[in-house]
């Protein structure tokens, strides 16, 4: 069956804040195709409750936001990237408001919250539904912008690169789009583009408990790695300290925003003792890695299933208005946060590493740009400062378009090779889907038990041996079965799990989000773990 190639100037993989921002701005330069896995535009953006960090208050300074970000990053941030992030922040916030985002306001202006690691109030928010508010406004703008086509319920399979056609690689790897699966028909199509933009989000679903949506399976990172892109800092997984604990927990966990602690909430053990008192100068507003480790230590020491987040001393009306989403979810679980503490546990939340990019969003593969959680821009270092993630997506998606605008003539001259149709010869419909589901659960349990908040050489090495066996079995399924979205996700989960484990194995120290009990101190020379397919991991400065 001959299937037409779907062509565009720009192919965007992912429909969160990074991808939509890029698409809106790139539409002024050419045609844009957006590929998204879900009809509902499910993304980490929608799940972001807290807000966007930016220097808005006259009492705040760029230097303070920069210092807070660098401090949280534990010495592994790129100072140039951090300065770009912070100084571009106010303009990006103003632009969002022009695009129809309604942030919470007070009589004197924007209501600014405070979260862990910040030295002052600088979190712009839309109550506790900031991500959903931003996503709604961006989608509305997309729908009214000519030149943009949305392909819902489509899953990216692999990037189209020059070396797949036997092109010489002495001038580097070039990307010309991707093979894309239409989930409704089961057909794989060629989506070609002069510029491909990965904005497919993070890897939270590689862990048993995560605040991320079901689609956060590391697809963009896995594809880029297979294509030969440079990847870094995969061992730095941020576990959010406070996700809602319920007896029927499993899969995606409901996040209790750090903004709750910003409004004065404290973390208690089952005996009512404040576990962060004396653990860090900022106590309950300490950086997330500090708080998550303190909770993990408390749970292991006591054998309890959860700790408790207490904001019951605040007025019920205030809680209903400031945190309507959290308040209502807790009430559905039978928890009145105005009268009792909220049971919470840590959950995998954010990947600080990803595909290495420069400050214009360019990856090591020509014509391939990356932004958002899939990217490693150097902004987050070893631990992301709260509410810098949405800002990073806005700033670096915008900078990617700025670079493309400056180089549009050269980009328009790119000639796209003729790629073959997707080859499904020798494959068949796999009937034993229970095996695939069990493999997904095996990967998630392996990562949760062995490569979680607290690690050791024994756990990491055991995880590596097991992931190699799992990956071989999963590769066998992938090669012989008719391709489906779930098979693709399983393949990608195994790939990113291996990258996280390789990063953790290579780093023989503890820094930021990576804590190894056998190497509890940071190395005297802090470096990044850089990964590339067909090469051994290396520690280097980037």
Residues carrying an active site annotation: 288
Cβ neighbours of residue 201 closer than 8 Å, sequence gap 6 or more: 14, 16, 43, 44, 212, 215, 216, 220, 372, 373, 374
Alpha-carbon distance values, 41 to 145, 151, 214 (Å): 17, 11, 12
State how far Cα 77 lies from the chain centre. Answer: 17
Check if the beta carbon of residue 448 is closer than 8 Å to that of residue 346. Answer: no
Return the number of other C-beta atoms located less than 10 Å from residue 396's C-beta: 28
Residue 490, classed as helix, strand or coil, is helix
**Number of CB atoms found within 10 A of residue 525's CB:** 8
**CA–CA distance, 461 with 446 (Å, rounded to integer):** 12
Calpha distance 539→529 (Å, rounded): 5
Residues 6+ apart with CB under 8 A from 476: none
Angstrom distance (rounded) from CA 392 to CA 73 = 14
First-residue to last-residue Cα distance in the chain: 46
Q: Are 241 and 291 a contacting pair, CB within 8 Å?
A: yes
Per DSSP, the residues of 68-108 read HHHHHTTT-S-HHHHHHHHHHHHHHHHHHHHTT----EETT
Burial class (CB in 10 A: 0-12, 13-18, 19+), 476: exposed
Rounded Cα–Cα distance for residues 215 and 92 (Å): 27
The pairing of beta strand 32-35 with beta strand 148-151: parallel
| CA–CA gap between residue 134 and residue 269 (Å, rounded) | 35
Q: Is 533 helix (H, G, I), strand (E, B) or coil?
A: coil
* Residue showing tokens 């079995």: 473
Instruction: Give the CA distances from residue 58 to residues 91, 108, 275, in Å, rounded to whole numbers and listed in that order.
Output: 15, 12, 34
292 DSSP 8-state letter = H
3-state secondary structure 167-230: CCCCCCCEEEEEEEEECCCCEEEEEEEEEEEECCCCCHHHCCEECCCCCCCCHHHHHHHHHCCC
Phi-psi region of 253 (alpha: psi -120 to 50; beta: other; left: phi over 0): beta
């Amino acid at each position: 069956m001959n299937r037409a190639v779907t062509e565009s100037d720009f192919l965007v993989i992912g429909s969160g804040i990074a991808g939509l921002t890029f698409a809106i701005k790139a539409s002024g330069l050419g045609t844009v195709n957006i590929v998204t896995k879900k009809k509902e535009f499910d993304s980490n953006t929608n799940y972001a409750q807290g807000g966007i960090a930016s220097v808005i208050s006259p009492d705040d300074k760029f230097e303070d936001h920069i210092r807070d970000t660098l401090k949280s990053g534990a010495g592994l941030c790129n100072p140039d990237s951090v300065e770009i992030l912070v100084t571009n922040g106010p303009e990006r916030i103003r632009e969002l408001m022009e695009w129809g985002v309604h942030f919470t306001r007070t009589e004197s202006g924007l209501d600014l919250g405070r979260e862990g690691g910040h030295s002052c109030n600088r979190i712009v928010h839309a109550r506790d539904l900031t991500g959903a508010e931003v996503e709604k406004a961006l989608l509305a703008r997309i729908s009214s912008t000519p030149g943009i086509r949305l392909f819902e319920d489509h899953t990216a399979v692999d990037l189209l690169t020059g070396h797949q056609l036997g092109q010489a690689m002495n001038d580097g790897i070039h990307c010309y789009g991707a093979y894309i699966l239409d989930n409704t028909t089961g057909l794989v199509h060629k989506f070609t583009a002069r510029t491909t933009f990965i904005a497919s989000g993070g890897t939270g679903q590689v862990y048993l408990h995560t605040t991320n949506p079901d689609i956060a399976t590391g697809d963009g990172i896995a594809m880029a790695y297979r294509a030969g892109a440079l990847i870094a800092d995969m061992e730095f997984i941020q576990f959010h300290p406070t996700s809602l604990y319920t007896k029927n927990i499993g899969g995606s966990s409901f996040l209790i925003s750090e903004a709750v602690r910003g409004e004065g909430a404290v973390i208690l053990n089952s005996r009512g003792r404040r576990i962060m008192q004396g653990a860090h100068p900022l106590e309950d507003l300490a950086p997330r890695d500090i708080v998550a480790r303190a909770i993990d230590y408390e749970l292991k020491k006591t054998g309890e299933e959860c700790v408790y987040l207490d904001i019951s001393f605040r007025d019920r009306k205030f809680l209903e208005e400031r945190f309507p989403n959290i308040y209502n979810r807790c009430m559905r679980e039978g928890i009145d946060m105005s009268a009792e503490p909220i049971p919470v546990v840590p959950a995998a939340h954010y990947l600080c590493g990803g595909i290495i990019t420069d400050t214009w969003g360019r990856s090591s593969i020509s014509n391939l740009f990356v932004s958002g959680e899939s990217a490693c821009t150097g902004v987050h270092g070893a631990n992301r400062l709260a509410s810098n993630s949405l800002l990073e997506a806005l700033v670096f998606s915008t900078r990617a378009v700025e670079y493309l605008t400056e180089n549009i003539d050269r980009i328009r001259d790119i000639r796209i090779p003729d790629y073959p149709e997707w080859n499904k010869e020798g494959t068949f419909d796999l009937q034993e889907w229970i095996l695939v589901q069990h493999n997904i659960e095996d990967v998630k349990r392996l990562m949760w038990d062995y490569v979680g908040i607290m690690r050791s050489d024994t756990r990491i090495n055991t995880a590596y041996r097991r992931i190699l066996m799992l990956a071989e079995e999963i590769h066998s399924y992938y090669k012989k079965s008719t391709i489906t979205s779930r098979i693709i996700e399983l393949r990608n989960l195994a790939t990113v799990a291996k990258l996280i484990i390789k990063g953790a194995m290579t780093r023989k120290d503890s820094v930021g989000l990576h804590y190894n009990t056998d190497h509890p101190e940071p190395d005297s020379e802090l470096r990044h773990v850089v990964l590339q397919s067909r090469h051994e991991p290396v520690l280097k400065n980037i």
